Amino acid sequence: MAVKILYNHVVRAMGHDTAPGMVLIAAAVLAMLIMNSGLADGYTALLGTTITLAFGEYGIAKPMLLWINDFLMAIFFLLVGLEIKREIVTGNLSNMRAASLPLIAAIGGMIVPALIYYSFNAGDPEAIRGWAIPAATDIAFALGVLALLGKRVPISLKVFLLAVAIIDDLGAILIIALFYTADLSTTALMVGGVVTLAMFALNRFGVKSITPYILLGLVLWVAVLKSGVHATLAGVVVAFCIPLEGHDPDEDGPLLHLEHALVPWVSFGIMPIFALANAGVSLIGMSPAALLEPISAGISTGLFFGKQIGIVGFSFIAVMVGLCRLPSGVSWMQVWGLSLLAGIGFTMSLFIGNLAFTEEQAAAVRVGVLSGSILAGISGYLILRIAGRASDARVEAAKANA
């Protein structure tokens, strides 16, 4: 309750929708300041501190950084899964005609950045593992920048960006499951399958209480962690098992209740902690040439240019051949600006980078993600601001001629 009250106060103080993005930026800047100060060694040692949770003979021992990336991010993916399910069942993705353009745009926005990254690293089999890093989009950052523009941006463009980002996240989930999975444990997977069936049965028998789903979800997280599949995917499975409808058709169901409860914790707790733990880049001894290293250049170029080419290009072709049409009140210039905001990979790109590489490549990943995301965010804001002024001018001219 106290967190919810704090969340409401912060959102009112900083502006609706912009607050999570601003807090993320602050956490990322703080991480970089710490890594370039006398606190760097303590910061690194703290993240490497082993934390053990044991129940009798069974236990899990992980460095703090992995507890953040494996457990806390599973809660983040739980929230993402809830949003995806809601959008598919009752939201913007429930109608195929309405979802067709965001779906095509998101596919283009994943394929082209991945191809650009591949072109930079084709000669290095180890570096190729990072192909999915520039394919990701950070919803919180992208929507936060969009919210800074206020009424200059039509509601239909915000809905379009949200749909593209959600489909992008679904793609990232599938990529993690298919391409970033270690050696599999059949026993752990069987346990996870039984737990998933139990949650599905709870849903089918009309159990509306969230508690049994969360308890079974914890068991599922441990099973998935031990299976070799990345543990964060347990959050998505739990989300898809939680019922959308409540006992009374006029009241919010368990899914919406849990989604609303998680938003402040994820926005002002989990995501800033993840950024603080993963965005630290030491600039000591670093030269501009670091931006030109194949991994860094592939990521930043994929995020900045790849997202533009993929989203605008695929959308333009789809509209021209009649597969779908632009949302009402949205211009091609605004689609261009949106494609730039989708190039803000930040947390999702850093997360995939952690799965793809060891600590040796971590600095190159962070440089690429941060440089590409910052450039894309600033450029997207400027393009959408110019597009908003042009739209306002057209409206004023129409009123004058009326």
Domain CATH number, residue 346: 1.20.1530.10
Tell me the C-alpha distance between 3 and 265, whole Å.
7
Q: Which amino acid is at 285?
A: G
249-258, Cβ contacts within 8 angstroms, sequence gap of 24 or more: 253/208, 254/208, 254/209, 254/210, 254/213, 255/82, 255/85, 255/86, 256/86, 257/210, 258/82, 258/210
Residues 127-150: pLDDT tens digits? 999 999 999 888 777 877 887 777
Spans of the chain, pLDDT less than 50: 1-3, 6-7, 9-10, 13-15, 395, 398
DSSP class of residue 245 equals B
Burial per residue of 211-222, b for 16 or more beta-carbon CB atoms within 10 angstroms, e otherwise: eebeebbebbbb
Domain hosting residue 120, numbered range: 2-180+230-401
Residue 254 lies in a domain: yes
Instruction: Tell whether 185 is covered by a domain.
Output: no
How far apart are alpha carbons 151 and 200 in whole angstroms? 42
276 within a domain of the structure (yes/no) = yes
Structural domain contains residue 169: yes
Considering Cα of 367, then 369, then 375, then 381, what sign does the dihedral take? Answer: negative
Question: Residue 286: which of 351, 363, 226 has the closest Cα?
Answer: 363
Domain-located, residue 72: yes
Q: What share of the chain is helix, strand, coil (3-state, %, to 5)?
A: 75, 5, 20
Global pTM? 0.77
DSSP 327: P
Tell me whether residue 201 is in a domain.
no
195/218 Cα distance (integer angstroms): 10
Structure tokens at 340: 């730039």
- Describe the crossing of helices 2-14 and 254-265 by its angle, rounded to 10 degrees: 70
Specify the number of domains making up the chain: 1
**CA-based R_g, the chain, Å:** 21
Which pLDDT score is estimated for 215? 95
